[in-house]
Amino acid sequence: MIIIPIWLADSLEEEKVGAKESFCPVCDRPVIFSVMRLRRKRMLFSVINLSTKDVGTFLVCPSCGGTYPLP
Q: Please check whether residue 68 lies inside any domain of the structure.
A: no
CA distances from 16 to 9, 22, 55, 56, 58 (A): 23, 17, 14, 12, 10
Provide, rounded to the nearest whole percent, the portion of the chain with pLDDT above 90.
Answer: 39
The number of CA neighbours under 13 Å toward the Cβ of 53 is 2
Range of the domain at 34: 7-63
What's the pLDDT at 45?
66
Q: Please check whether residue 18 lies inside any domain of the structure.
A: yes
State how far the Cα of 17 lies from the Cα of 64, in Å rounded to an integer. Answer: 20
pTM above 0.75, yes or no: no
What's the pLDDT at 12?
84
Q: 38-63 pLDDT, tens per residue?
A: 888 877 665 666 667 788 899 999 98
Q: Please check whether residue 2 lies inside any domain of the structure.
A: no
State how far the Cα of 15 lies from the Cα of 28, in Å rounded to an integer. Answer: 26
Q: Please check whether residue 1 lies inside any domain of the structure.
A: no
State which of 4-13, 18-27, 42-51 shows the largest mean pLDDT: 18-27
Quick one: CA dihedral 49, 53, 55, 60, positive or negative?
positive
